[in-house]
Amino acid sequence: MEQLEANFTLHHLPAEGRDAFLAEVGPRIRGVAMGGHAKVDGAFMGKLPKLEIVANFGVGYDSVDAKWAGEHKIVVTNTPDVLTEEVADTALGLLLMTARDLSRSERYLRAGLWEKQGPFPLSTSTLRDKTVGILALGRIGKAIATRCEAFGLKIVYHGRSPQKDVPYRYYASLVEMAKDVDILISVAPGGPDTFHIVDAEVLRALGPAGILVNIGRGSVVDEGALISALQNKVIHSAGLDVFEHEPHVPSELMAMDHVVLLPHVGSGSVHTRRLMGQLMVDNLTSWFAGKGPLTPVSETPWPR
């Protein structure tokens, strides 16, 4: 924010009275810096006739209509690479917490139950001798796979197409992969192509010992189907960093003690968020210096 304030004429989009605000300053806006839960769709960008660039704070950019932007010669940038290792670390933390029931065991200790009732019950699941299926083997998926290998886990993956130079088995079908794995880690981005691809059928295929970890986007998992699968022991457990309507987390999930729920902290260290912020600023600075975007998304390739 300091750098944006210092180098640009910065307008803050208000929570209330947006139409009046956009009617007044919209015609002068040439760049948008966005993050979090902001929604930048065609209707919004259409109100900014001079818009040249949308710089997203985050690698996932499902809240920007990048296709619409591309069709209207507006460049969209995101913040890849700088957060890869952090998000992969969080994924492994979440997996360990879920598989070994670590959140519940800490709650047990803090409630004074260790002293009163004795040792915490043994976890019924483990990472030993398990196979992990990675849904979307991109940069973050690969960093998660490397960590899983170090933990002695077997790795397979599903995505749009098989990748060369990857030592892991590819599944063209997500359901077939879910049948064969113990743990499904979803790193898939949001958007219409991945909406609810982890559905009731995939969860059934994962099975009663199965664990789902979601570190990508909440919209990828049919949350209603997941709640029902967890309540009916169709799968063993889930570790979730993202939710369909975050920051809202369904009360049914809150009520389940064996499920691990994190408030979208995947990239959330000062170190990594600083790098992401810098990359967002650098994209804007580079663009307005006439040097093009640094990290354009695939829908708005550069050079054109």
Q: What is the contact surface with ligand 8YV in residues (CB under 6 A)?
A: 35-36, 57-60, 83, 264, 266-267
CB 251 within 8 A of CB 263: no
**Which of 138, 159 has the CB closer to ligand 8YV?**
138
How many C-beta atoms lie closer than 10 Å to residue 68's C-beta?
A: 18
**Which of 101, 244 has the CB closer to ligand 8YV?**
244
**Which of 85, 149 has the CB closer to ligand 8YV?**
85
Smallest separation (angstroms) from ligand 8YV to the CB of 224: 22
Determine the Cα–Cα distance for residues 60 and 115; give it in Å rounded to an integer: 45
Q: Strands 53-57 and 75-77: what pairing?
A: parallel
Smallest separation (angstroms) from ligand 8YV to the CB of 98: 19
Catalytic residues: 217, 246, 264
CA 220 from centroid of its chain's CA atoms: 9
Determine the Cα–Cα distance for residues 266 and 111; give it in Å rounded to an integer: 27
Instruction: State the virtual CA torsion across 210, 247, 106, 134 in degrees, nearest 10.
Output: 30
**Which of 26, 60 has the CB closer to ligand 8YV?**
60
Smallest separation (angstroms) from ligand 8YV to the CB of 289: 25
Query: What region, left, alpha or beta, does residue 126 occupy, with left being phi > 0 and alpha being psi -120 to 50 degrees?
Result: beta
Closest CA to 68 of 54, 56, 82: 54
CA 71 from centroid of its chain's CA atoms: 26
Smallest separation (angstroms) from ligand 8YV to the CB of 270: 13
Smallest separation (angstroms) from ligand 8YV to the CB of 58: 2
Determine the Cα–Cα distance for residues 33 and 13; give it in Å rounded to an integer: 10
Residue showing tokens 């219409």: 192
**Which of 59, 188 has the CB closer to ligand 8YV?**
59
* Residue nearest to ligand 8YV according to CB distances in the complex: 58
Smallest separation (angstroms) from ligand 8YV to the CB of 51: 20
**Which of 84, 125 has the CB closer to ligand 8YV?**
84
Alpha carbon distance, N-terminus to C-terminus of the chain? 29
